[in-house]
Chains A and B, each alone.
Chain A
Amino acid sequence: MMTPVPGVEGFMYPNEVELQWSLLIVLYPYITGLVAGAFILASLERVFRVKAVKPTYRLALLTALAFLLVAPLPLQLHLGHPERSFEMYLTPHRSSAMAMFGFVYLWYLLVVLLAEIWLDYRADIVRMAAVETGWRRWLYRALTLGSMNISEEARAVDDRVGYWITIIGIPSAFLLHGYVGFIFGSVKANAWWSTPLMPIVFLFSAMVSGIAAVMLLYMAAMYMQGKKVDMLCLDTIAKYLFFVFLIDFSLEMLDLVHRIYEADESFRSLDFMVHSRLWTSQVVIQIVLGTCVPLALLAAVLVWRFSETARKRMYVAAGLLTLVGIFAMRWNVVIGGQLFSKSYLGYTSYKLDFATREGLLPAIVLMLLPFAILWALVKLLPPWKPEEGDRDGVCPAAP
């Protein structure tokens, strides 16, 4: 007689009963996606000259930096020996997708994001180094790297170089998050992950989550500062969010239709899993609440006329639901991919701990950390210039 294992249904291989990749591994693609998405939103203004989103340009860059600094932490915490992770930089193995990701991460952090932020803020940093006092003065002076030249010509050079860095940054952002999708999509032994569409789906969902996050952060920042939200900016962001979300949803549905029509040997097992253990997180939260409802809200704004207050409320609701939906998508990929047996004959379950190394508490702390970093960055490098009032009292980004 077989002894039933709690949480296990049907046949599981012994090494499949307990999930090895936990909630922290869900956070990793989620946070990385927010980075890539925020940067793509910033590039709209810089490269594609979408002037309406200018008030969010600097905020988007700082958001990308704050989340990028936290992105590797869930992985570090997941590892039993986090110090060993640096060995992938010292002795990288070319066949390891994760080791190569370390270099993609460093490239994006050092060559793209820090360089672009420095160039964009340089003139402000030099000015603040002159007017600030105490430790802030020393900090700004260090950040100038010793160059005080902020002549029109020097700033024009900064602008040109920054423009080219953003151009390099767009494929780099695509690479950063496409690569996260590749790490999952290239696992050929896992039918739930193994699809060449995975990097593209991850990329578009990253753009969706990043745009939604910056939109909400911009509204929150304006609200906290008691300033008026630039509705043209907000409407434009919401429009881009809608179209990118539509592409993302189409790609996910394409993947679904392809799987249903192809119906390979894994299909019955995966289909059963979606109809049982993943029903709430995938169908209810990800597809209905996290995708269809925000898409409907954003589409309604494009089709019908709403008052400013109503539009703001709809954007807040759509943004929050989008972030929940994309989180659910990451959850369903990472956790869902470990719930079924490679024999396609059984299912296990994931029990989330609370105050353990990979529990809910560290996950909450890790999700709050980028906001704390962003708060410090905004204090240090203000994205808006309060003294230069803009149209209707809106505070635009620096030129």
Chain B
Amino acid sequence: MQGRWKDSIHLIRPAAVFLAGLLLFLVVRAYIVPPTFGQYGHYRGAVLDEVRARPVKYAGQETCAGCHVEETEVKGKGKHATVACEACHGPAARHADDPGSMRPMKPEGTALCAGCHEMDTAKPKWFRQVNTKEHMPGMKCTECHAAHSPALH
């Protein structure tokens, strides 16, 4: 029995190396994995507070509509009724907090329009699309269409 043990004991050594590696892994893991990981799901729980602490950049459609009544009314009757103001004018939370501190950008029409309306076979057929080079060579979209309600002038 003692002889068998003597001739088998060397097997403990690779097992010990393996277990030491496993232990090291578990220690490193405990050190590296953030404590809030898995709190709510397969992500770091603390990230929610970090995201919440970021400054708000968008004011929201209702805030815009509160002051810009006329534009909202025109837009609400046209094809762009469901497009939020800040989708084209950019984030405007600072403007909403203090209108004098910044003015929302006035977009350069053609490039902005083409972003959604440039012809692409992958887009649904019902969505209005044009090949801008053929449709209006050398012209701006706003020469014929009003951005807030894009039917022809």
Other-chain contact of B10, A12, A14, A154 (Cβ < 8 Å): A154
Other-chain contact of A161, B3, B11, B17, B37 (Cβ < 8 Å): B11
Q: Give the interface size bracket for B toward A.
A: 20 to 34
B134 touches A147 (CB 8 A): no
A392 within 8 A of B: no
The docked-state distance in angstroms from the alpha carbon of A89 to that of B29 is: 9
A73 within 8 A of B: no
B53 within 8 A of A: no
Q: Give the interface size bracket for A toward B.
A: 20 to 34
For A122, the chain B residues whose CB sits under 8 A away are 10
Interface positions, chain A 212-242, Cβ under 8 Å from B, are: none
Closest chain B residue to A346, Cβ basis: B121
B7 touches A91 (CB 8 A): no
A interface footprint on B98-129 (CB within 8 Å = 1, 0 otherwise): 00000000000000000000011110000000
Closest chain B residue to A95, Cβ basis: B42
- Number of A-B residue pairs having CB atoms within 8 Å of each other in the complex: 53
A256 within 8 A of B: no
Minimum distance in angstroms from A261 CB to a CB of chain B: 33
Minimum distance in angstroms from B114 CB to a CB of chain A: 13
For B134, the chain A residues whose CB sits under 8 A away are 1
The docked-state distance in angstroms from the alpha carbon of A153 to that of B5 is: 10
A14 touches B122 (CB 8 A): yes
Closest chain A residue to B16, Cβ basis: A145
For B14, the chain A residues whose CB sits under 8 A away are 115, 118, 145
B29 touches A149 (CB 8 A): no
B interface footprint on A82-118 (CB within 8 Å = 1, 0 otherwise): 0000000111010000000000000000110001001
Binding site for A on B (CB under 8 A): 3-4, 6-11, 13-14, 17-18, 21, 25, 29, 32-33, 37-38, 42, 119-122, 131, 134
Contacts A12-B122, A110-B18 aside, 15 further interface pairs with beta carbons under 8 A come to: A1-B119, A1-B131, A2-B119, A2-B121, A13-B122, A90-B29, A90-B32, A90-B33, A91-B33, A91-B37, A111-B18, A147-B13, A149-B6, A149-B10, A153-B3
